[in-house]
Structure 1
């Protein structure tokens, strides 16, 4: 359906990165922008598969999805390498987004006035420059990982000059401006380790080099979480804007989800702060041996647990584990849980997580400490922040679930030392204050609306 140009004053093109939680977070941001500026048309460029999932239900009438190719040849069969699909997409992405922009302009009858992009898409600045329009690079993860990519050249230079004899476990002081120290092995892959020439690493390197040209860089975080990193990046980037946590600001996205597996009812029958909520995200599965070690430790320690996991992994549980824990009421395993609601239940004492940034933010907003078992990407540096910077949890000893490491972690976190308790409560309060109507994140969002939609544009009166 064509949007009538006489009622639309501006036209914003949105470039989504169609992997993991990125497109859903981008749509959350765009819905906030679209609600604040109903006279602006938003064209959401994304792959067909991703768009189909995102737009299954009606939303704002000034957001319209447009499909671009995912780069997969006809009859393509994935081989299990998570970067393979990304590499195929990146091979065609720049041309596809250019084509998508032309289609959206013809369809709406409106020239693009601004581009809002997932910051991963490092080539977007070139497109915006050619079109002579402002561009906004949205970073959906944490300040720490953004700083690692922004300072990649500096980090490589520093590490090349150092004699790093301790390998990936070597802790380096002042490696990233605004961060006191970090383990070399916790830097995101592609910064100093992994295949630095892969399409994905090359894209992120270019992003780090070009992001300073963006008109604004919004991030799904709150500035009180990482004040030193925020201060530093604010001096390097135009309009570096903490506008989260999204789960606290956009409550309508979580409150409407049906608890189809009765997680909340089960939690109502558990003791306060006693339950381990276990979830490794939608895209990651524990190796079978680690799953067994974790499951057996939960049963041996009689730790109540709610475990959200893909049904395909149920077969790896120890024989009789599900039947025994269900029968004695200590365990519940579900294929999906309303995570934000679960974390805010008084029975939850710890989140056992892969260290994905969204899960961490939700845990902070609920005041729940964490046990992290990172897999890839930013999981490692996020886990470093949880344990060593924020002091609100720990990483599983040795990086994998063993009975010894799991028992130790559960005992440490569920006992909740006074120091950890105070730190998680403080961060929870700061997150809620930032998300309040007059909080820092909402004030920053007003700045973002002016950047994207233009000063003086008609905005909703309550905005």
Structure 2
């Protein structure tokens, strides 16, 4: 029996009752992110295998990406490390008052941004925002996230700190501003800010105009070089992990051997 879990899943189940029953335990991460935890879990479970998603570190060429909203073309005209990318996934969108606070902050500070948000939520923006924002930002219903995050123009990724988004930020070397909503978001955002030191959690746990300004100033101004250096280190580690002799590559090969021998 092979079970696949996110790391945060361990905090919601009785690991001593369920996980030891598996022949292998592959998870969506890479060993170098949390070495002490990995070593402990390896001693507790059979074939504890960190297998990071290879699409994050080996995305398809841009020529094969369908960028129907011309996000990459727009990004090509922006300054390096200047753009805020905003995306909260398909099931985790902040309430209307927080969307307005974010929009008001971007408009007041004229921060270049790419915001991927479903059209039904755009009605919550302040009056005139969609029109005014065209001068310095781009709002789209969908963006090829893995590919756009690789663009040199990005300075920060604002999201709910879901695990996939955190991994995508690390693989792309883009610092985070986290606004946790539910589930593993709160723990992930704490790890981002306090342990890995690759971003910050929004002040108070929800978007206000003042809190958003503080977070953006923190990431995009005086601390940005420190954050970029820190997340750059993890980016290097994850790319090494999926290299020919990397830990994730070896774990994946082992997982294939286990599955094919069942």
The answer, yes or no, to whether TM exceeds 0.5 is: yes
| 1:136 is the counterpart of 2:22 | no
Partner of 2:102: 294
| 1:148 is the counterpart of 2:14 | no
Partner of 2:173: 367
1:352 equivalent among 148, 158, 182: 158
1:380 equivalent among 158, 163, 186: 186
| 1:243 is the counterpart of 2:106 | no
Counterpart-to-counterpart distance in 2, 1:214 and 1:310: 39
Normalised by the length of structure 1, the TM-score is: 0.54
Counterpart-to-counterpart distance in 2, 1:402 and 1:246: 36
Counterpart-to-counterpart distance in 1, 2:54 and 2:10: 20
| 1:316 is the counterpart of 2:179 | no
| 1:390 is the counterpart of 2:196 | yes
Residues 434 and 440, structure 1, Cα contact 8 Å, conserved in 2: yes
Q: CA deviation at 1:325?
A: 1.2
Residues 59 and 147, structure 2, Cα contact 8 Å, conserved in 1: no
Residues 263 and 342, structure 1, Cα contact 8 Å, conserved in 2: yes
Residues 357 and 382, structure 1, Cα contact 8 Å, conserved in 2: yes
| 1:424 is the counterpart of 2:218 | no
Q: How many residue pairs end up in the alignment?
A: 261
SS at match of 2:84: strand
Counterpart-to-counterpart distance in 1, 2:147 and 2:187: 26
Q: CA deviation at 1:352?
A: 0.2
Counterpart-to-counterpart distance in 2, 1:255 and 1:233: 41
Partner of 2:218: 412
- Structure 1 residue runs without a partner (length 5+): 1-134, 150-203, 456-463
1:9-20 → structure 2 map (5 Å cutoff): none
Partner of 1:213: 21
2:247 equivalent among 440, 451, 460: 440
Residues 56 and 146, structure 2, Cα contact 8 Å, conserved in 1: no
**Change over 3 Å in CA distance of 1:423–1:249 after alignment to 2:** closer
| 1:269 is the counterpart of 2:77 | yes
User: How big is the alpha-carbon RMSD for the aligned residues of Structure 1 and Structure 2?
Assistant: 1.8
Counterpart-to-counterpart distance in 2, 1:299 and 1:378: 31
Residues 245 and 431, structure 1, Cα contact 8 Å, conserved in 2: no
Residues 297 and 407, structure 1, Cα contact 8 Å, conserved in 2: yes
Counterpart-to-counterpart distance in 1, 2:124 and 2:56: 35
Counterpart-to-counterpart distance in 2, 1:418 and 1:394: 14
**Change over 3 Å in CA distance of 1:253–1:447 after alignment to 2:** farther
SS at match of 1:244: coil
Counterpart-to-counterpart distance in 2, 1:295 and 1:386: 24
- Bigger relative contact order, structure 1 or 2 (CA pairs below 8 A, ≥6 apart): 2
